Every structure is written in C-alpha cells, then in structure tokens.
A and B are shown apart, each in its own frame.
Chain A
Amino acid sequence: MPLRIPLFMKKRGQRRTGVRWLGPLGEAVLFAVLLLLGADGIAMLMVGAITPPWPWLVGIIPASLLLYGGLGLVELMWHSNTSTELRSAVAKKAADLELRIASGESPHTLPAIPSIARVVDSPGVRLAYRLPIDTSPKWMLLGMTLICICWNLLVGMFVYQVIDLHVSGHPNWLLTWLMVPFVLAGLWTLVVLGRAIWITTGIGATRLEVSHHPLHAGETFHLLVSQAGRINMRWLKVVIVCQEQATYAQGTDTRTEIFRVHRQLLYRRRKFNIKAAEPFAVETEALIPNAAMHSFVSPHNSVDWLLIVSGKAARWTIFERKFPIYVYPTSETSEAKQRASDPTMPTNLQPQS
C-alpha cells in the first residue's frame, strides 16, 4: 500500500488526523541543520578560514546554534523514545532529590498543593497571621510603567524629529498627521498608568489577619479586616472566593481563563468615614464549605482560594484587593502526614501472597 501524507490536518477531539511522525521529523531536521551550521561556523573559526575582528565574541553565534540544535535534538529523542509517565516519574525523582540536597527536607507530603510558608512567616497584631496581599497588581503596574516609558520615549523621538522639520521650515505634513494616533496612544498609557498608581497608593493600606492557617474544608476561621486612610467610604465588602484558573494555548497566544465556583459575602457596610488616625477594623467569621476542593496548583491549572476586600470611596473608583489563602485536604492528620512522609511505608508494587 503506498504511503500517503495528507496535506491538511484536522483536530478530532484529543486526536489529530495526519501522520504522527511528520511534526517530530520536521523538528529534527531543523535542529540538525542548526547543529551543523553551528559546528561548521566553529570549525571555520578554529582553522582560520574566517578571521573576524573579535573571534571569541563572534564565536558566540555558532556556539549558540550548536548548543540550541544539540539540546533540541536530545530533547526530541528523549520525548520520542519515552512515555509521558516515564518523563513525569523522572521529573518527580529529580525534584525530590533537588529538595533533599537543597534543604535536607523530605519531599513535600502534599503534592500539587501550594506551601503556606509565605503566609505563616508574618504574625498578625490581633490574630495569628497577617495575610500577604496578592502581588500580581504590583507586577502589572511595573509592566504598565515599562510599556508607558518605552512607548512614550519612542514616540517622543519621532515627535522631536517632526517638530525639528517644522522649525527648519521643511514641514512633513504626512508624517505629522501619522504621528497623531501614536501620540494619543502615548497619552492614553499615561492616563491609565496615573489612574492605576492613584488607586494603588491613594487608598490606605488594607490589612487582613486570620486566626489559623492552613484552612480545611468544613472549618470556620476568624478574620480581621482593617482599612487605613482618610476616606469617606460609600461601601466596603469582604468576600471569600474559590476560583479555577486554566492556561491554554490558542494559536500562538497563551490565554488564561478564570472561573469563580464559590463566592460568599462575609461582611458588608455602607456609608461610613475612616479617620487617618484611627483605621477601620472589624472582626468576622468565615466558613470553608464542606467537601470543598483544597487549593491546587499545577503548571497550567489551579484552584485558588482568596479573600477579596473591595470598596468604593467618594470621588474614587472601585478598588479591589486580593489575599490568597490556602485550603488543605481534610484527611491530612498528623499521623497520616507522618505515614506519607515515611519512605519505609509500602508505596511500591507489592505482589500479594
């Protein structure tokens, strides 16, 4: 029967039509070409066939091609000759070994659950632990600042050239009008950045403390909410949220989708004033629902629990501050934990007599 290679492929659920080995073969050819180019470049430098001004500096180019092609080929061979399970088992062993060498600790007894270390290292004033705020807004602010600076510097250079042409008496009107949307976009980034900085720094600090950590399904815990500043609040509320987060590739983009599966209002108050000398503070209770999913984290998926404080002050837009909390499995008793961490316990394949 003649070998047929279809020109078009379709995705049918989890499987694709078409030849399975065609993709890896293309990758292998690409890596082999890069490897050969790199080796050829290094050989030419070494025998003196080409004599650039800085041979060692220029040598970085073929060396990087050689390294990239070589590593790509090794990874491709590893992927095509091993199963997903074997790769996962090797990765797990390597991670366990790394942890043992780095800290002398036994491997994490609760796989795929985030560690509570960053919560329990900060004691609270009235309750046991002060929760750290979710740092993602700060990173977003940093990213926005960098984009704003780069964009406006670039636009500024072009604007300078355009103005220079006008001053010298040779105006370029096409370029001038083309610059308008770029300048407007630059102004828009400045407005958005200014608004984000205003919201982040203008409203006083929000502090959240919890009575204990980690939390478990079906458990009640105490919570202290404190809001500083000199604000005339329209409303303030505190909610507990459980959300699923999935990251997936769509074409060449990586997208993240968040779906809230649980949301419960813990506290709400309308129209009150907060004085600068006396931060607003309220203590309340929260319940993790029975049989709720514990916190879960893996490279592309997660289940996160959060406490969210949101509010609206007079003459301000709505602000929202997130505080991650960690819910651990309920069956995790101290005896069970000890048993799981004990390497002598039977976790191997054991023939039954």
Chain B
Amino acid sequence: MIGLNIHIRLDSDDRRYLPGESLTGRFSVDGPEHDTVRAAEFSVLWHTTGKGEEDLAVHFFERFSHERISQLDFRTPHPFEIRLPFSPQSYDGMIVKVCWCARLRLFLPRGQEIVSEEPFRLGETQPTLMN
C-alpha cells in the first residue's frame, strides 16, 4: 500500500466546458510518503473507450522532474489554467465514446506509479438517436 493521495480539483462544479474555454483547477499530493515522488506528469487529454482499441491524445502535458519537485511542494495545491481545444468533443456513443480528463501520474522508487484522473465534459454533444 502506497501512502500517497492525489487530489485533482476542477473549478467548475458541473465539470462541463465549452470548446475554447479555460479549464482551471488545482492538484495536490499528500500522505506520509510525499517526499518519495521522483517525477510527476500532469496532462489534459482525451481517450476513447468502447468496442475499439483505445486511442489517446494529449492536449497539454508537463513533466516535473526530481529537481523541480524539490522546488515545488505538491502538498500545497498547484493551480493550472489550460485553454481547451475545439475538438474532439466528449461523446457517449454506442460503440465509440470520447472522454476528457485531467490526469496526474506520479513516479515512485522501484518503478512504481500512481495515476489519478478527474474526468470532465468538453462541448454539448448529445448521442444522436436513431430515426
């Protein structure tokens, strides 16, 4: 059991964003083993789920190496502001789904990793009904 908790909080309560809008929020890491983190990667990305193989594309990516982590203390919430793209918009189809999320990946000693993500919706697309 790894004694680390990741918190990603988005400022919008309903977690719905329009294309071109800013995604704002903050992330933090706490727990007794917070100083064991060797590197961290924060990304905003979309990925597909459903019947097909998973496709994934990163819209925003930042890596914090060991040196930067010692400067940045993740116990204090770290704010972010990212302009979202116009596509692809979130979609709940029958065999294809497009999901957006903000994801934080922590790299620990001995090749261990912890990942946490906060999903959100981009756009107002609704599943089209068969006529």
> Residues of A with Cβ closer than 8 Å to B?
83-86, 88-89, 92, 109-113, 217, 242, 244-249, 257, 259-265, 289, 291-294, 296, 298-303, 328-329, 331-332, 336-337, 339-340, 345-352
Contacts and interface: CB of A to CB of B under 8 A. Distances in A.
Given A244-B94, A336-B19, A329 B56 contact: no
12 contacts: A244-B50, A245-B52, A248-B52, A260-B130, A261-B93, A261-B94, A292-B125, A301-B96, A340-B86, A347-B82, A349-B81, A352-B81
Given A86-B63, A111-B57, A301-B50, A346 B19 contact: no
Interface of B: 18-20, 22, 24, 41-43, 45-46, 48, 50-63, 78-83, 85-89, 91, 93-96, 98, 103, 105, 113, 123-131
A294 B89 contact: yes
B130 A262 contact: yes
B11 to A, nearest CB: 10
Q: Which of B103, B105, B113, B131 has the most CB of A within 10 A?
A: B131
Contacts of B41: 83, 85-86
B60 A299 contact: no
Contact of B129 (A262, A301, A332, A336): A262
Contacts of B126: 291-292
Contacts of B130: 260-263
Given A111-B87, A301-B48, A336-B20, 9 more contacts: A85-B56, A85-B105, A86-B61, A244-B94, A261-B93, A296-B87, A301-B52, A328-B87, A340-B86
Nearest to B103: A85
Contacts of B58: 85, 88-89, 92
Contacts of B24: 352
Given A85-B43, A264-B131, A352-B79, A347 B96 contact: no
Given A86-B41, A86-B61, A332-B86, A303 B19 contact: no
Contact of B56 (A88, A113, A246, A294): A88
Contacts of A301: 48, 50, 52-53, 55, 96
A299 B46 CA distance: 13
B79 A351 contact: yes
Contact of B20 (A246, A300, A303, A340): A340
Contacts of A293: 89, 91, 93, 125, 127-128
Contacts of A217: 125
Given A110-B86, A293-B128, A257 B95 contact: yes
Given A83-B41, A302-B96, A261 B127 contact: yes
